[in-house]
Structure 1
Amino acid sequence: MTGAQLPVAELRSATKRYPGVIALDEVDFSVMPGEVRAVLGKNGAGKSTLIRLLTGAESADSGEVLLSGKPFVEFGQRRTREAAERGLRAVYQELSLVPSMTIAENMFLGNWPRRRRVLDHRAMAEQAREALRRLGLSLDPRLLTGTLAPAARQMVEIARAFLGVPRLVILDEPTSSLAAAEVDQVCNAVREAAAAGAAVLYVSHRMSEIRRLADTATVMRDGRVASTLSVAGARTLADTATVMRDGRVASTLSVAGARTEDIIQMMLGRVEQARPAHTSAIGKTTLSVEGIAMPPKLRNITFDLHAGEVLGIAGLLGSGRTELLEIVMGLRLPSAGSVRVRDEKIAKPSYKGMMQRGFGYTPESRKEDGIVPLLGVDENIVLTDFSRVTRGGVLSSAAVESAARTVVERLHVKTARLETPIVTLSGGNQQKVVIGRWIHAGSRILLLDEPTRGVDIEAKAQIYDIIRALAAEGRAVLFVSSEIEELDQVCDRVLVLRDGVMAEEHIAPSIDAERLLAACIG
């Protein structure tokens, strides 16, 4: 790189605010042609906001966003098209492929090549095949994406980013659902793109990949750049890596010489270690998971859950935490293993059967899977068990009101009326209702997947209290969270899910956020 070269992308004192949150706080950031920059940071550090500013999906409230030294010209939704036309490609955690379209059609979605005003399917297939080749894929571009396995769909999404001659490729947790061989293919494609002069932003929590790929790293924390780690002379994939913390870039040190513990401390900052007193008595084993496997995510998962216990499951994105809960709840079938509820061995759990055995489940995505938006708070509460609110086979409005009011008052749900549509409530109050419906159903074993995601600090504390109160009543709780810092606030034990197995066990009061994150990263 020469001094005359301009950064491919640059933020100058960029600030972005959302209601009640400063997502980015005067961030300075730049990436050069041919550079692979790793970006590190825990959830909420500002990584996603940084990406949205670069892709044009969001505008900075103050400061500048430049692509190849020039600011955006367009506004609103047209900014994303402008960014794409200027050579920016992005792969997000959530896939955006259309299942009913072919691989080639998806790869050119919205920008299909034409010949004499007619779609040029031959050119589309040839260019798609070349992009797939860069990832070592021999897929037929004419295949419908809906017929592909999840990992193959992820690879197609990544291949789309390498179409043509990109100037900047942003990969957000690109390997979270991929096996080792596929990770190698992604790394090879990144090397090829960087060698051709493209800049690559590589967002990941996987330290093994970061050490393999990055010369330097930028750590972000709480919307600021906390640190930039540098590896002088290292012959690796990435040139730099950025660690974000509290919305800013935090600091600079050597990736090769930095201990994982030091990097984790930069990501987390100062973690308060005050823990609540866990007073509930641990009782008999109510759930035993025995040898559960679902390749490539899970293999030989075995653990016990006891009455009165809150058992946390920690792991990185894509580690298989959600899949494990879905298997236990009967929403997925494992390739091996079984579930034992008290003295009953269940080889093939079903959702209905597990509900009848006293299980309750709150899904990871409250908005999509947890609530019925236009139904009232009362209806959302009682839908897990209508038998408790029917009289003579007919729903009783008085019984529905009584049952819903009991839950609302117990969990301190803030709602003007019981019949208020749940979609109008805050995220924290929606989540209380989602948990409360299983209290209404009398569930004794609760599987909670990210129960505090998208709620404010006050609501989080209230949900912690609810969970501890449920455990004190003798209920068993399986608690999955990507917020490492909250696990010691609510859990009696934490199991670390890494590389498909339960790698470590941490027991209160010796549950420490830094050690947990280090265990997850490996």
Structure 2
Amino acid sequence: MGAIAALEGCTKRYPGVLALDNATFRVAPGEVRALLGKNGAGKSTLIRLLTGAEVPDSGTVTIAGAALVQGGSARAQEAFSRGVRVVYQELSLVPGMSIAENLFLGRWPRQAGILDYTGMEAEARVAMQRLGLDMRPSDPVAGLSPAERQLVEIARVLLGKPKLVILDEPTSSLAAAEAEKVMTAVQRIAADGIAVIYISHRMNEIRQIARSATIMRDGRIIDTVDVAGADTREIVRLMLGSEATQSAALETKAREKIILDVADLALAPKLNSISFRLREGEVLGIAGLLGAGRTELLQAIMGVRPFERGRIAVDGKAVGRPGYRAMLKRGFGYTPESRKEEGIVPLLGVDENTVVTDFSAVSRRGVLSARRIAEATRKVIARLHVKTASTETPIGSLSGGNQQKVVIGRWVHADSRILLLDEPTRGVDVEAKAQIYAIIRQLAAEGRSVIFVSSEIEELPLVCDRVLVLREGRLQEEFTSPNIDQDAVMAACIAGH
């Protein structure tokens, strides 16, 4: 079967960067092709050429049997008219509008100059039925779960007659059970003869839905491998260009001292009688499905969200009803789940985003010192291996992995000794994940204590000394390294669902 979309010998340069180097790529109708590579490998550039957002410096882009010939904004419209659709990692839905209004956002159908709500909802219903979705087109997006919002984004690209659908990290913010809904939708799309390019860092998903995977590195297409017969370590080696850096062997250095004692904590409707202890120098993982209450648990401990019942003790001393400032003074640090919305100020520099947790350390007689800010930031950059042109580079221009290192680094700057990390590797590539694991293990080796919340079960054994499973409002099971089996943890998470 011929290719529905292809790049032939495409090269794309930006100032100082060879983003794509003589790339040849083809995908056939009904095929699900995984696209793998760390940040900066060239995946985004390849996608931008296929969607017409960019013109190659050399080479040809072919969609539905004909080369794209237009330039500028007309090129993207040309690709769209031939059936290219894309769903980006950052969702673009408007919460205050209905599902149908979001599906037709920017191109609402009209009759006699009046919005055709009846026709719009009818077409929306058909698009959702193609994915097996049981939702009313009139339902507001604000009331949907994250997985349902992702599915609405996918339903939107099915309007018209798409031939190629590109999905950029569609499950990065979803727990495994929620991700299953998205993968089922992908399988339905492919069964209709639509080609799918699936960008993800989750190998478990890729093995489930893709037959082949194209691996990119340094702007080049390195290989396309059969997923069923490919060893994960070999795929990672192709992505990195050398044997992947293994995460540090988990040599537990947790001490007997109990640094945090949580007892009978309740926060309706998510948490009911939560009790656990965190030791000095320990990395404690919290596993659970999306919506299980993991984020709420961290927020309750940090004083961001008041709980209804329970006791918290730090260093053996009762805290009572903790407040955020009070927990900061006790040495707590908290990184939120949504890095871009809550974790960083994109337009401010790496320096300002780093020292925000402790201005006193970079001040002199109550006045901020530019020299001290730069020195403190350079220490964090060096220690956490942050890749940035300078301390003043806007943090929003860094890769996701480097942004996350700064978010963690600000608590190193504040010398926090108890870190509450909510999805600290969400949406970052495999190399950055390994670096973040190593950072967390090093912090634990120094005697800091970490609570590590993650939706990616497979990473918990790589970084945690213990894992607690949160289900139905309670901590149900406990796993201890080296006996943290991801299949057993997943089974514990979904028991009863």
Q: When the two structures are superposed, what TM-score results if normalisation uses the length of structure 2?
A: 0.69
Pair 1:39-2:34 in alignment: yes
Q: RMSD between aligned alpha carbons?
A: 5.7
Task: Tell me the residue number matched to 2:333.
Answer: 360
Aligned to 2:447: 474
- Deviations along 1:161-180, one digit per CA (max 9) or x if unpaired, are 22233222223344555678
* Structure 1 residue matching 2:47: 3-state secondary structure: helix
Q: 1:351 to 1:20 in 2, by over 3 A?
A: farther
Q: Is the 8 A contact 1:103 1:144 kept in 2?
A: yes
Residue 286 of structure 1 aligns with which residue? 259
Contact preservation (8 Å) 1:275, 1:488: no
State the SS of the aligned residue for 1:170.
strand
**Retained in 1: the 8 A contact 2:288–2:469?**
yes
Residues 1:291 and 1:27: Cα distance change in structure 2 (over 3 Å): farther
> Do the aligned partners of 1:313 and 1:495 also contact (CA within 8 Å) in 2?
yes
- Residue 222 of structure 2 corresponds to 248
Query: Is 1:101 aligned with 2:92?
Result: no
Selected match of 1:220 from 215, 221, 224: 215
Amino acid in the other structure paired with 1:271: E
**More deviation, 46-55/374-383:** 374-383
Alignment partners' CA distance in 1, 2:145 and 2:85? 23
Q: What SS class does the counterpart of residue 136 from structure 1 fall into?
A: coil
Distance 1:47 1:320 in 2: 34
Measured after TM superposition, the shift of residue 385 of structure 1 is 4.7
Q: Does 1:444 align with 2:439?
A: no
Could you say which residue in structure 1 is the equivalent of 2:194?
Answer: 198
Which residue of structure 2 aligns with residue 90 of structure 1?
Answer: 86
Aligned partners of 1:185, 1:275: CA distance in 2, in Å? 31
For the Cα contact (< 8 Å) 1:314–1:494, is it kept in 2?
no
CA shift for structure 1 position 360:
1.3
Give 1:476's aligned amino acid. Answer: S
The gaps in structure 2 that reach 5 residues or longer are: none
Residue identity in the other structure for 2:70: E
Secondary structure of the structure 1 residue equivalent to 2:97: coil
Q: Aligned to 1:80, what secondary structure does the other structure show?
A: helix
| Separation (CA, whole Å) in 2 of partners of 1:118 and 1:354 | 55
> Structure 1 481/97 Cα, relative in aligned 2: closer, same or farther at 3 Å?
same
Letter in 1 for 2:366: S
Q: CA deviation at 1:107?
A: 0.5
How far apart in 1 are the matches of 2:405 and 2:209?
42
SS of equivalent to 1:99: coil
Residue 271 (structure 1) aligned with residue 266 (structure 2): no
Amino acid at match of 1:445: I
**Unmatched runs of 5 consecutive residues or more in structure 1:** 225-245
Distance 1:121 1:346, change over 3 A: farther
Determine if contact 1:311/1:494 at 8 Å carries over to the other structure.
yes
Is 1:396 the counterpart of 2:366? The answer is: yes
The 8 Å contact of residues 248 and 441 in structure 2, kept in 1 or not, is answered as: no
Cα distance in 2 for partners of 1:62, 1:300 equals 62
Which one of 115, 120, 124 corresponds to residue 128 of structure 1?
A: 124
Q: 1:94 to 1:9 in 2, by over 3 A?
A: same
Name the CA distance, whole Å, in 1 between partners of 2:11 and 2:455.
26
Q: Structure 1 residues 345, 120: closer, same or farther in 2, change over 3 A?
A: farther
Match for residue 11 of structure 1? 7
TM-score w.r.t. length of structure 1 = 0.66
Within 5 A, what are the aligned runs for 1:419-498?
434-435=407-408, 437-439=410-412, 441-448=414-421, 450=424, 471=444, 473-477=446-450, 493=465
Q: Deviations over 1:23-42 (max 9, x none)?
A: 54433322223x13130535
Give how far 1:203 is off.
4.0
Q: Does the CA-based 8 Å contact 1:382-1:403 persist in structure 2? A: no
Identity %: 48
Once residues 150 and 50 of structure 1 are traced to their aligned partners in structure 2, the CA distance between those partners, rounded to angstroms, is 27
In structure 2, distance between residues paired with 1:336 and 1:210: 42
Q: Secondary structure at the match of 1:13?
A: strand
Equivalents in 1 of 2:291, 2:58: separation in Å?
34
Question: 1:127: Cα distance to partner?
Answer: 0.6
Please give the secondary structure, in 2, of the residue aligned with 1:81.
Answer: helix
Structure 1 stretch displaced more, 154-163 or 408-417: 408-417
Task: Indicate the SS of the match to 1:159.
Answer: helix
Cα deviation, residue 97, structure 1:
0.6
After alignment, is 308-317 or 473-482 more displaced? 308-317
1:92·1:173 contact (CA, 8 Å) conserved in 2? yes
* Partners of 1:53 and 1:319 in 2: CA distance: 40
Residue 35 of structure 2 contacts residue 197 of structure 2 at CA under 8 Å; is this kept in 1?
no
Q: Alpha-carbon deviation of 1:336? A: 11
- Tell me the CA shift for residue 271 of structure 1: 2.4
Do the aligned partners of 2:178 and 2:290 also contact (CA within 8 Å) in 1? no
Question: 1:46–1:67: structure 2 CA closer, same or farther, 3 Å change rule?
Answer: same
Match of 1:69 among 61, 65, 84: 65
Letter in 2 for 1:474: G
Q: CA deviation at 1:131?
A: 1.3
- Offset at 1:69? 2.0
Mapped contact 1:135–1:186 kept (Cα < 8 A)? no
Letter of the aligned partner of 1:444 in structure 2?
A: R
- Given that 1:311 and 1:493 are in contact with CA atoms closer than 8 Å, whether structure 2 keeps it comes out as yes
